[in-house]
Chain A
Amino acid sequence: MSEDQNNNHSGVGLVVRGLRKSFGEQEVLKGLDIEVKPGEIFVIMGPSGSGKSVLLKHLIGLEEPDAGEILINGEPLTTPEIAAKYRMALVFQSGALLNSLTLGENVGLYLTEHHLKSPDEIKKIVEEKLADVGLKDAVDKMPSELSGGMKKRAAIARALVIEPQLILYDEPTSELDPLSAVVIGNEILDLNRRIHVTSLVVSHDRDLAFGVADRIAVIIDGQIVTVGTPDEVKNFNDPRVKEFLHADFKREK
């Protein structure tokens, strides 16, 4: 498989220019521009329904843009070949584990299906990644036996197995208790340090966002309102941004 040819483990850069997408009458993304540097942790915050999940689906090739372009390391993400050349992973908001497989099989699925490792090696990697997210004892459980937060953590483990160069997290901490949220936040930081993966985190979680982000973008109503370091965004003088960050803070506590 072509993804094997790319042994470069460090993160990739991501550029989005003028991205537009409508579903029927409803325009969800209204000309969106983002630039994420290789190895950066970039957090996108924004109210529910502002198009964050739709944006992530475009980045991983699950949706076709109506207009605009997406560049991975300067290459337009238009053909499956380019998409397959770089290892990218999306941690779905809902987890999206395969319900017919055990947790271990889910996490190892990428390796099993692409025949990248022997079964013993896969077993070891799966245990390792599950231990990373605190699910060591749940290897043989079915997804239906897990809590929402456990599913989310398993989904992160499944993404890690791909050893991605770009990892997209859709609300990684939305269903987690504060302690697990910190664990996940630290895992995001740690991965970034260890393999220099580029991380794009979509989150409502103010603590997570300001805790891990190199830069933060605020998306409201399909457009980026502001981009900057956490301090810049915190002090950004826009009533909508202030209101959002504030309201978010109150809800989370």
Chain B
Amino acid sequence: MFENIGEIVLLFWRTLLALPQAWRQRDKVFDQFFEIGNASLLMVCVLSFFIGAVIALQTGPVLVESSLPSAVGGVVGIAIAKELAPVMMAILIAGRIGSAMAAELGSMRVYQEIDALRTMNINPIHYLVLPRILAIAVALPLLVVFSVLVGWFGGATVADLNHRMEIPYRVFFSDLRDIVELRDVANGVFKSFCFAIIIGVVSCHQGLVTIGGPRGIGRSVTKAVVNSIVLIVIFDYLLTRFLLK
């Protein structure tokens, strides 16, 4: 699975070198950006609400029984902001957007569209890869901010309605504010930025190296998603352990 790590790093490096082209490609960045938003906003909303809800459901009653009801807001708040929102959203976006990137670039490769670009002296990294990676690198952190808010709301709703907790919204959020700092949210958002780069680079790379017709495209899509998710989980640990203490 990791035989291509070198190529992936190289593609990332080339994309960085292409950054000065970003302004020229702004239209495509916007297009990609809105496509990502369009494709995932509703899913992010539903997913985040229920993640928040289930975390409150799992931890709340235990904390209340141990007479720590004021910890519920904090636990739910921290879990969502630092861990669940960034990782779950990254996995969702890997499945929703990474797969689309790999499929689109893969079919362009297979049907010689990328060759055609090269014959026109159009660099596929400037034209295809850069806009996608920039768009996802902006979109995913924004989606995570949104997801955190919705997740908290989901947790608060369950804490309020569940008869084993019955913590009113106002109390839940004031407990949450006592524990969760802006830094915690920033941590999660930063992680999601790294995950976005991983998804973008891995998926674009996988698309560009597609060979062998429609079946090859299918294989590329699967690989892009699976490899992105594995790398996300590994980097999640590494980032948490070494950068974001």
Which of B104, B118, B119 has the largest count of A CB atoms less than 10 A from its CB? Answer: B119
Enumerate A95-125 residues with CB–CB distance to B below 8 Å.
96-100, 109-110, 113-115
Residue of A nearest to B114 (CB): A96
Which residues of B are at the interface with A, using a C-beta cutoff of 8 A? Answer: 24, 104, 107-108, 111-113, 115-122, 127
* Pair A97/B121 contact, Cβ less than 8 Å: no
Can you show 15 pairs from A to B with CB atoms below 8 A apart?
A3-B121, A60-B119, A62-B118, A92-B112, A94-B112, A96-B115, A98-B113, A98-B116, A98-B117, A99-B111, A109-B120, A110-B120, A110-B122, A114-B121, A162-B120
Contact of B113 among A57, A62, A90, A96 (CB under 8 A): A96
* Pair A1/B113 contact, Cβ less than 8 Å: no
Number of interface residues of A (CB under 8 A): 23
What's the least CB distance linking B53 to chain A, in Å? 39
Interface of B is mostly: helix
What's the least CB distance linking A26 to chain B, in Å? 16
User: Please, how many angstroms separate the alpha-carbon atoms of A200 and B43 in the complex?
Assistant: 53
Residues of B within 8 A of A113 (CB): 120, 122, 127
* Pair B121/A96 contact, Cβ less than 8 Å: no
Q: How many interface contacts (CB-CB < 8 Å) are there between A and B?
A: 48
Residues of B within 8 A of A89 (CB): 119-120
Residues of A within 8 A of B108 (CB): 98-99
Known interface pairs A98-B108, A113-B127; A92-B115 also in contact (CB < 8 Å): yes
* Pair B121/A1 contact, Cβ less than 8 Å: yes
User: Please, how many angstroms separate the alpha-carbon atoms of A114 and B115 in the complex?
Assistant: 17
Residue of B nearest to A80 (CB): B121
Enumerate A153-187 residues with CB–CB distance to B below 8 Å.
162
User: Please, how many angstroms separate the alpha-carbon atoms of A85 and B41 in the complex?
Assistant: 46
Known interface pairs A94-B111, A96-B111, A98-B108; A84-B116 also in contact (CB < 8 Å): no
User: Please, how many angstroms separate the alpha-carbon atoms of A17 and B92 in the complex?
Assistant: 53
* Pair B121/A84 contact, Cβ less than 8 Å: yes
Residues of B within 8 A of A99 (CB): 107-108, 111, 113
Q: Assess whether A219 is interfacial by the CB under 8 Å rule.
A: no
* Pair B120/A96 contact, Cβ less than 8 Å: no
Residues of B within 8 A of A19 (CB): none
What's the least CB distance linking A153 to chain B, in Å? 15
